[in-house]
Amino acid sequence: MDHPSYHNIGDHTEAVQVDFDPQRISYSDLLAAFWQSHRPTSQSRSRQYLHAIFTHDDQQAQQALASKAAVEHSLDRPVRTEVLPLRSFTRAEDYHQKYMLKRDEALMRELSRIFPDHRDLVDSTAAARLNAYLGGYGSQAQFEREIDSLGLSPENRAKVTNLVCGKGLFN
């Protein structure tokens, strides 16, 4: 199947690029996490929402295809998720970055002081984790283990704790 460029507006696929340290987590562990959080037998609605794993090299492609085959075997159903070579990756526009965080002006003011360059904020692991927690992702136990390491003032730490734990955002 011929795939057009992934970054042209109107003919793109929304995706997440995961940067990882293979000394801390293996690519196969990342693939396992992907399959656990993904519905591999469902049909893609469009090119924009294509179900895919984009690989950086032949080794990743081989591992992704093997994991896809294993999932297909365990489900005993066809897996519709595609494994494709990454052609390019374009960051989403600024208004899409850290969407949940941007809804809280006080948190954004504090994070902007910590990360004066917006690119540093977008690339920050702490900001990514806070954004995910505010979106209801992760677990309460994980949140409680790391909230103190995310660089927030006591006031914003209490505020985020109230937002994510007090309102039952975690499943």
Beta strands 82-85 and 52-55 are parallel
Tokens describing residue 162: 């109230």
In the structure, what pLDDT confidence band is assigned to residue 171 with cuts at 50, 70 and 90?
A: low
Q: How confident is the model at residue 68 (pLDDT cuts 50, 70, 90)?
A: very high
* Cα(48)–Cα(32) distance, integer angstroms: 23
**Degrees to nearest 5, angle at CA 55 with 33 and 76:** 55
Phi-psi region of 98 (alpha: psi -120 to 50; beta: other; left: phi over 0): left
Find, among 141, 113, 140, the residue nearest to 127 by Cα. Answer: 113
* Crossing angle (nearest 10°) for helices 125-134 and 105-114: 170
Average the pLDDT over 20-24 and give the result: 92
Are the C-beta atoms of 38 and 81 separated by less than 8 Å?
yes
pTM of the model: 0.71
Structure tokens of 91? 């960051």
167 versus 124: the higher-pLDDT residue is 124
In this prediction, residues 73-89 reach a mean pLDDT of 93
* Amino acid at residue number 103: R
